[in-house]
Amino acid sequence: MRPRVSLTQGVVEGTHDQGAHHFLRLPYAAPPVGDLRWRPPSPPQSWEGVYDASYFGPACPQTRGAIFDLRVSEQSEDCLHLNIWTRTLDRGARQPVMVWIHGGGFVGGAGSEDGLDGTSLSGQGVTVVTLNYRLGAFGYAAHPDIGANFAVLDQIAALKWVAENIEAFGGDPDNVTVFGQSAGAASVRALLSAYRAKGLFHRAILQSAGFEPAASQPKPPGPERTLAATRELFAKLGGDVEAARNASTDEVLALSEALAGIRPPAGQVHTPANLVWTPISDDREVAEGDNFVGWPAEVPVMLGVVDNEARYFLPPNAPVAPEVLENMAKALAGRYAEEVLDLFAASGATTYEALDQLFTTAVFTEPALATLKRFAALNRVVYYYHFGRVSPGFLKSGHLAKHTAEIRYLFGNLSPDEEYDDTDAALSRDVQSAWVSFARTGKPSLPDGSVWPRYGADASGMTIIGDTLQAAPFVGKELTGIIHRLRS
């Protein structure tokens, strides 16, 4: 018999497979279509009879960006759904709840992606939730006539739905971890500063994003680029909000894609710092500056990076002209460009390897360090990891520990065609255990049961994730230190 759950909206019927109950495409808000486009999410509608939650709903409109197989072919603005995996439907189970916000550059991805399947992770005694949120211009348009941060409001609406309904899926509404990678991690950072998010989560994990702006940026990026892109979007859709709301999904999507990024100058490469459709500090939904209004002092945070973030964006071992490396050194290391280039020359790195190290350090690792220091100065409980495991398949392909590499370990979805081995399987179990112990207690564990060292103002530690998880004193690389000097 298929599992059923009664919610305030009505009765839902899921499926049971591999020891887990699956409840998919559960609507957490009304479809944001027609006059509801570019408005805060409205409450979900109720239904009569039994709602079939056995299959994924459509992905939000997108042209690119998904990290893994979406597992759906349909796209629709009626996409504000979430998915749940749990081993128990006992309301008294009070399992930790882990709510994943997917990445994809704010323009792609969905909670249905195969790498995010929660079947394995739910076996660790947690209730796993993934969700869709509006993407591109649909979720991040910003204009005085409409407001901004609709995707952030979607995520808050999903967290409110979880607070009201997750007990029916064995979850504890008073122990919710919000976690995400890349754009998902940046979304978590936005929630820390979101007025309406306070109290809706109790732990937070930021994986490979959600950090301080790159040190090479003269000032934090403001909302100007998003506001300008929205003005252009509306102008091309008829000149005002009403005309834009009446435009077709395809029309908005095409313009969203066309306006999605600032192209780098000739001789440079594109980085995530060039994105346009992102959360912005509007001081209406997301507070300005470093005012973390959505982050109660007792909420611990875990954050980290992977060794070769850049190799997700740069084809492995692609030919890189020396002048490109030189240009990027000037762009990312500023007045220390020559010192950085000398460091690479002394190391014997190829131009591709040097560009990987520079891109990874300037856009991810050094901003993570700056974030650690900021959070420690606020006396927050913070844990830091550095992921460097390279599977046999990723070694062969040259991807190494690229951006997104840790996700399949976390969810326990190591696909055989990517040539993972027994070391990877064991590491996946240890990574799951660490993340789940953090969700359960606020303290991530090592394989021997001890707690990860904290990063703090006095004694700072980190956890290195290679073939195993190992605690270590916090030690930054020389390149990170050079770029970090740009902040002084």
Each residue of 53-71: pLDDT tens digit? 999 999 999 999 999 999 9
pLDDT at 51: 98
User: For 300-487, which CATH class?
Assistant: alpha beta
Instruction: Give the pLDDT confidence score for residue 98 in this predicted structure.
Output: 99
C-alpha dist (Å) from residue 114 to 23, 107, 347: 15, 18, 39
Tell me how far CA of residue 288 lies from CA of 123, 148, 221, in angstroms.
39, 13, 12
Query: Does residue 131 register a pLDDT over 90?
Result: yes
CA dist., res. 419 & res. 413, Å (int): 12
Amino acid at 190: A
Residues of 43-73 as b/e, b for ≥16 C-beta within 10 angstroms?
A: ebeeeeeebebeebbbbbbbeebbbbebbbe
pLDDT at 452: 97
pLDDT at 416 over 90: no
pLDDT at residue 75 tops 80: yes
Angstrom CA distances, 43 to 30, 135, 348, stand at 6, 19, 58
Identify whether the C-beta of residue 355 lies closer than 8 Å to the C-beta of residue 327. Answer: no
Mean pLDDT over 206-216 rounds to 96
The whole-angstrom distance between residue 417's C-alpha and the CA centroid of its chain comes to 25
- Residue 182 annotated to the active site: yes
Residue 361, classed as helix, strand or coil, is helix
- For residue 430, the model assigns a pLDDT of 98
Asked if 20 and 117 count as a contact pair (C-beta separation under 8 A), the reply is: no
Quick one: pLDDT at residue 356? 98
The Cα–Cα gap between 86 and 120 comes to 10
Average pLDDT over residues 333-356: 97
CB 236 within 8 A of CB 256: no
Residue 335 has pLDDT above 80, yes or no: yes
Gap between the Cα atoms of 207 and 444, Å rounded: 14
User: With bands split at pLDDT 50, 70 and 90, how would you rate the model's confidence at 127?
Assistant: very high
DSSP string, 386-433: EE----HHHHHHT--SBTTTTHHHHHT---GGG---HHHHHHHHHHHH
Task: Select from 155, 148, 174 the least CA-distant residue to 99.
Answer: 155
Residue whose tokens read 């979007």 = 233
Catalytic residue selected from 187, 403, 428, 437? 403
Q: What is the mean pLDDT of residues 348-365?
A: 98
Which three-class secondary structure state does DSSP give residue 246?
A: helix
Residue of 182, 208, 391, 428 marked active site: 182
Domain boundaries, the chain: 300-487
Note the pLDDT of residue 459: 78
Exposure class string for 398-419: b at 16+ Cβ within 10 A, else e: bbbbbbbbbbbbbbbbbeeeee
